[in-house]
């Protein structure tokens, strides 16, 4: 099996690359990344090859189309900074690139598993369900919704090609530190509290998120590979937890008693409450999250 992982030097891509090599030791794995937000240190221990390139460079995909025949593509590469307001750049990198990838997938007769996002739902009521309330609040969320539309239109015309979109909710875990300000709130709060600083939260820390641990996300990708299926699926825990709860869990784990430092939220597009309906993923993928927020943070702290 020949596997290509775009964004493979990034947070999710690098975790996925290493797990695929472990689960499928005879497979050949290639990573494609432009290293704008990915980092070589995420690939220490990875045994495959790295291709350096820009997702939005059509000539790169024309080259790969002729050079290597892949059996499966895990498309994790994207601009993941939700505060980027350059709409054209966001659409070129996130949405338009998918058309080039789908053209290659059709040529190779390969399977595509790609990263979508809970950002497509914006501030729609929870629990968020595939096909409902898809009203993004920012260019990032819109670009991911357009990816889903492009993928499903392709699938309608090419039903013999398997295409799976995974709408990740708030992913956290080892390998995210190189994302900087785009790293999860769990990582950000840990760093602040580890240094003895009061954890900084938007007023009043009761915003809630469906936090999902990286190991559950990687497992979801493997299930998508193993199942003979196409479609779009929420990948989360199905539970919404507040930022205040994260601070409480970290205080307990670190043996600290730091009170939050609350300040005004500067964003008018902020998602205040995300919670996924994961029944479709459970039924069709066999996906079941193994890590609660407490278990995930406990496991994460071993790495940190």
Phi and psi for 164 in degrees, rounded to 5?
-125, 125
First to last CA, the chain: 33
Integer Cα distance of 12 and 23 in angstroms: 16
The residue with tokens 């670009």 is 143
Cβ atoms 95, 165 nearer than 8 A? no
Strand-pair partners of 231:
164
Decide: 277 and 129 in contact? Cβ < 8 Å.
yes
Half-sphere exposure of 279 (CA within 13 A, CB side): 5
Nearest CA to 186 out of 195, 177, 70, 75 is that of 177
Distance in angstroms (rounded) separating the CA atoms of residues 229 and 163: 8
Active-site option among 28, 65, 129, 179:
179
| Lookup result for tokens 């307001």 | 85
**Residue of 114, 140, 168, 187 marked catalytic:** 140
**Counting beta carbons within 10 angstroms of the beta carbon of residue 81, is it exposed (0 to 12), middle (13 to 18) or buried (19 or more)?**
middle
User: In whole angstroms, what is the distance from residue 30 CA to residue 115 CA?
Assistant: 17
Active site residue 270: no
Q: How far is CA 20 from CA 26, 37, 161, 219, 236, in A?
A: 10, 22, 21, 10, 21
41 is catalytic: no
The pair of three-digit structure tokens given for residue 34, joined into one six-digit string: 């432009």
Residues annotated as catalytic (active site), given as ranges: 140, 179
């Amino acid at each position: 099996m020949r596997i290509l992982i775009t964004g493979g030097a990034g947070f999710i891509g690098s975790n996925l690359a290493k797990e695929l090599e472990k689960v499928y030791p005879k497979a050949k794995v290639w990573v494609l990344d432009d290293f704008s937000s990915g980092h070589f240190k995420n690939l220490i221990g990875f045994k495959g090859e790295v291709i350096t390139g820009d997702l939005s460079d059509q000539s790169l995909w024309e080259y790969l189309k002729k050079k290597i025949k892949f059996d499966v593509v895990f498309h994790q590469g994207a601009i993941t900074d939700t505060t980027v307001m350059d709409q054209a750049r966001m659409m070129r990198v996130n949405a338009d690139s998918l058309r080039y990838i789908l053209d290659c997938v059709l040529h190779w007769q390969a399977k595509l598993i790609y990263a979508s996002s809970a950002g497509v739902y914006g501030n729609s009521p929870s629990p968020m369900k595939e096909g409902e309330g898809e009203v993004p609040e920012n260019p990032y969320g819109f670009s991911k919704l357009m990816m889903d539309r492009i993928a499903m239109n392709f699938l309608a015309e090419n039903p013999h090609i398997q295409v799976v979109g995974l709408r990740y909710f708030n992913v956290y875990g080892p390998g995210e530190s190189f994302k900087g300000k785009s790293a999860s709130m769990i990582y950000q709060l840990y760093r602040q509290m580890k240094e003895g600083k009061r954890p900084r939260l938007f007023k009043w820390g009761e915003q809630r998120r469906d936090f999902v641990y990286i190991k559950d996300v990687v497992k979801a990708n493997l299930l998508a590979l193993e199942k003979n299926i196409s479609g779009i699926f929420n990948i989360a825990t199905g539970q919404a937890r507040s930022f205040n709860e994260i601070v409480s869990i970290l205080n307990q784990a670190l043996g600290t008693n730091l009170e939050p430092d609350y300040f005004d939220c500067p964003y008018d597009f902020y998602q205040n409450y995300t919670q996924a309906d994961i029944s479709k993923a459970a039924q069709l993928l066999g996906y079941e999250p193994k890590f609660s927020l407490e278990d995930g943070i406990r496991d994460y702290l071993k790495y940190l």
